[in-house]
Amino acid sequence: MATSELLDVAPAAKVAPRVALLTGLRPTGSLTLANVVGAVQPLLGRQQLEQQPILLFVADLHALTDNEPAAVAGQVRATVADLLALGIDASRIRLFVQSAVLDDVNELAGYLARLVRVSELLRQPSLKDKLRAGQGAEQASAALLMYPVLMAADILLHGAAVVPVGEDQLAHLELARLLARRFNAAHGPTLVEPRALPGPALRILALRGEKKMSKSDPETALLLDDDAATANRKIAGCQTAVEGRMSPHLASHLQLIESLDPEAAGEATAIVAGHLRGERVMGRFKQHFARVVTDYLARVQSRRARLTSGDIDLVLAEGRAFARGSARRTLGEARQAMRFRADVPRTE
Ligand code: ATP
Ligand code: MG
């Protein structure tokens, strides 16, 4: 069958997952509280419950898309430290660096790239946003175009059932699902079709402006390494809402408070109720918001300060061994399914 015909076939071939949850974060700076609630907390909430492994990776290859390689490499261990300080239990969650499976993930991305059209990649909303915000297609690197294919390979390489991501990554996850279906339709059931977490994905807004909160815009983000004075200053300058009204920013701040400290949510909701009745309480809201955030940051920062370099080495070595084994297994199956690579034994 020609590749162009394969692209239109999408029967439902189900393959049993081998990993309960998988998610990745780019080492592009100190993590934000949006990263925490969008991607990390769903893992923390399930790390004691899942029977199958949970995988968490530091996406250094993805960070190369818009950052210098040396800067990315220099940030990897800080991101691992952030993740451990957030309460990742390394005996339950395998934590690895994406480039530990560099050959495998690139090989699978190469096979998947055959199954997606250039026009489909050009339609990805994340690409369109980036091209609008920065350089156009004349200047932007092809890494930006291939980003969703590499992300699909990250996920499909490990047979993950569920991928917790923020709203910004949902379109990429959808593409990973589509590529799993197309691969299976072309070569037989091999790759697991991943799902998002049930319920709406989160989109925490930047403290000001219309964009989502991002590591790459640290002045409008709350960072794990912000000291109390910095966090207080940022929150004092955040956008809220006029009396009597709800606004996307206020709803986003409320969501962040609820996720970081459920016990503080009652007071936040009560203040917002007063605001909706026309009371002038946004100053009080900001004080409450700042208290929740600075308490949370203090707890994480004190755990982070106690981590040693040896702790990080140990966690990464275990994660690397697991990820390599998992990747090799999937690739072996994918090669066999494709009847490609003579050095791999065939099943028939
Ligand atoms: P960068 O600016 O470098 O892209 P980022 O803050 O967007 O950084 P990523 O490493 O790209 O962070 O994404 C890590 C995870 O955090 C992804 O699952 C992503 O969906 C999630 N995430 C990022 N921003 C938000 C947000 N504002 N709200 C909820 N989840 C988010
Ligand atoms: Mg991002």
82-116 pLDDT, tens digit per residue, is 999 999 999 899 999 999 999 999 999 999 999 99
Handedness of CA 220, 225, 226, 228 (dihedral sign): positive
Instruction: Say if residues 134 and 180 touch (Cβ distance below 8 Å).
Output: no
Q: How confident is the model at residue 6 (pLDDT cuts 50, 70, 90)?
A: low
Q: Alpha-carbon distance 267 to 215, whole Å? A: 28
Q: Alpha-carbon distance 179 to 173, whole Å? A: 10
Ligand 1: which of 207, 214, 224, 260 to mutate, most ligand atoms within 8 Å of CB? 214
Please report which helix (H) or strand (E) contains residue 108, including its range. Answer: helix 102-113
195 has pLDDT over 50? yes
Q: Alpha-carbon distance 72 to 74, whole Å? A: 5
25 CB within 6 A, ligand 1: yes
Please report which helix (H) or strand (E) contains residue 182, including its range. Answer: helix 170-187
The 10 Å Cβ neighbour count of residue 262 is 9
Q: What is the DSSP letter of 94?
A: E
Q: How confident is the model at residue 348 (pLDDT cuts 50, 70, 90)?
A: very low
In angstroms, how far is CA 57 from the centroid of its own chain?
A: 9
Q: Which amino acid is at 227?
A: D
Distance 115 CA to ligand 1 centre (A): 27
pLDDT digits (tens, 9 = 90+) for 224-278: 999 999 999 999 999 999 999 999 999 999 999 999 999 999 999 999 999 999 9
Three-state DSSP state, 174 = helix
255 CB within 6 A, ligand 1: no
CA angle 87, 35, 86 (to 5 degrees): 10
Ligand 1: which of 32, 72, 168, 174 to mutate, most ligand atoms within 8 Å of CB? 168
Instruction: Say if residues 26 and 172 touch (Cβ distance below 8 Å).
Output: no
User: Which ligand is closest to the CA of 31, given by its number?
Assistant: 1
Please give the residue that has the higher pLDDT: either 300 or 4.
300
Distance 316 CA to ligand 2 centre (A): 23
35 CB within 6 A, ligand 1: yes
Q: Give the residue carrying structure tokens 């909160």.
A: 213
178 CB within 6 A, ligand 1: no
Distance 214 CA to ligand 2 centre (A): 6
Percent helix, strand, coil in the chain (nearest 5)?
A: 55, 5, 35
294 CB within 6 A, ligand 1: no
Q: Which amino acid is at 160?
A: A
